[in-house]
Amino acid sequence: MAVFGSGDLKNLPRNIADGMVKKSVSGSTVAQLSAREPQRFGATDIITFNDFPRAEFVEEGADKGNSGGAFGVVTAKPRKAQVTMRFNQEVEWADQDYQLGVLNELADAGSTALARALDLGVYHRINPLTGNVITGWDNYVSATTMSVTAGKDPELDLETAAGAVIGTEQSVNGIAIDPSYSWTLATQRYADGRKKFPELGLGANVGSFGGVNVAVGNTVSGRPEATDTGVRAIVGDFQSGIRWGVQRDLPLEVIRFGDPDGQGDLKRKNQIALRLEIVYGWYVFVNRFAKIIKSSEG
């Protein structure tokens, strides 16, 4: 898809202003709540304890028993994401400082797109470019069977979702929350008009709630890349329930020849293209998460 192409800059040369106006989108809530870990390229096996071993007190001279513990294996699969952006070749006629500024802005926008791709894949198995579900993927957070329908009190919704996870003997150490739901939580009031949670402001930059780390981002609902998934918050064990890493982080590539994205020959269209690529690897322990979904009324 052409970013500049046949758009506002087709009548270059003219001066390029400092900076670039970009739509405000959030980055990755997964990366905020769950630590990235080193991974080799390819399918990566993760060892699990299916039955945790138990220690034993042993009397002097007594035999030692079997401590139990059963091992299992799950596999983090590689998932490649890319961003290719076209723009008119005349941008290169600008002086070096402006060129560098434009390229840096585009690289930053592409990096944000790749960060959002991590969330959309991990949470919903959504292809960001098309907004469609990747049906061949069967390991994603919103597949959890623990679901809470949002009511009038988001605080109670979060408590219920956390209780469902804790009830399965899992930890709750993170909440990913959609901005609309974060605003609803932050603007809750007592009967006398006082705000329940004044420390949350308007809900835009919530860092914690109830002692649990929070990340606010619209990838939770899948918007704007996809149709609203209905998910308003994800509660659970982000520290151990999502194992992810970057298997390959390819450098920014400037492409001047060929047809890299099916939009026509670059030279013929007087364009150049930028491409960023990354290979993620992840595995989600789905039973460590609960989701809050919007009600049919809203």
**Cβ-contact 123, 144 below 8 angstroms:** no
Architecture of the CATH domain 29-49+71-293: 2-Layer Sandwich (3.30)
Q: Which residue has the tokens 């399918």?
A: 43
> What pLDDT, on a 0 to 100 scale, did the predictor assign at position 224?
92
In the structure, what pLDDT confidence band is assigned to residue 12 with cuts at 50, 70 and 90? Answer: very low
Is the predicted pLDDT of residue 298 greater than 70, yes or no? Answer: no
Could you tell me the pLDDT band of residue 14, with boundaries at 50, 70 and 90? Answer: very low
More confident residue, 218 or 72: 218
Please report which confidence band the pLDDT of residue 133 belongs to, taking 50, 70 and 90 as the band edges. very high
Q: What integer pLDDT is reported at residue 86 of this predicted model?
A: 83
pTM for this entry: 0.82
Within 8 A by CB and 6+ apart from 274, the residues are: 83, 84, 85, 87, 103, 106, 107, 110, 252, 253, 254, 255
Kind of pairing between the strands at 174-177 and 212-216: parallel
Q: State the pLDDT confidence band at 122, using cuts at 50, 70 and 90.
A: very high
E strand or H helix that includes residue 148: strand 147-149
88 confidence band (pLDDT: 50, 70, 90): confident
Q: Mind listing the pLDDT tens digit for each residue in 228-269?
A: 999 999 999 999 999 998 888 887 788 888 888 888 888 888
Specify the residue for token string 């049919």. 296
pLDDT at residue 16 in the model: 41
pLDDT in tens, 194-223: 999 999 999 998 999 999 999 999 999 999
Q: What is the domain partition of the chain in residue ranges?
A: 29-49+71-293
Judge whether residue 34 has pLDDT over 80: yes
* pLDDT-above-90 percentage for the chain: 50
Is pLDDT of 123 > 90? yes
Q: Look over the chain and give the mean of its residue pLDDT values, rounded to a whole number.
A: 83
Average pLDDT over residues 276-287: 91
Q: Is 13 a residue whose pLDDT tops 90?
A: no
Task: Pick the most confident of 32-36, 70-74, 114-118, 159-163.
Answer: 159-163
Cβ neighbors of 1 (< 8 A, separation 6 or more) are 85, 86, 261, 263
* pLDDT tens figures, 16-25: 444 444 444 5
- What is the DSSP code (8-state) at residue 221? T
Look at phi and psi of residue 153 and say left if phi exceeds 0, alpha if psi is from -120 to 50, else beta. beta
Tally of CB atoms within 10 A around 79: 19
Burial degree of 53 (CB within 10 A; 0-12, 13-18, 19+): exposed
The tens digit of pLDDT for each residue in 155-179 reads: 999 999 999 999 998 999 999 999 9
Residue 58, burial from CB neighbour count under 10 angstroms (0-12, 13-18, 19+) = exposed
Q: How confident is the model at residue 15 (pLDDT cuts 50, 70, 90)?
A: very low
What pLDDT is recorded for position 116?
Answer: 93
Confidence of residue 126 (pLDDT cuts 50, 70, 90): very high
With 60 as the cut, is the pLDDT of residue 3 above it? no
Question: Is pLDDT above 80 for 70?
Answer: no
| More confident site: 255 or 187 | 187
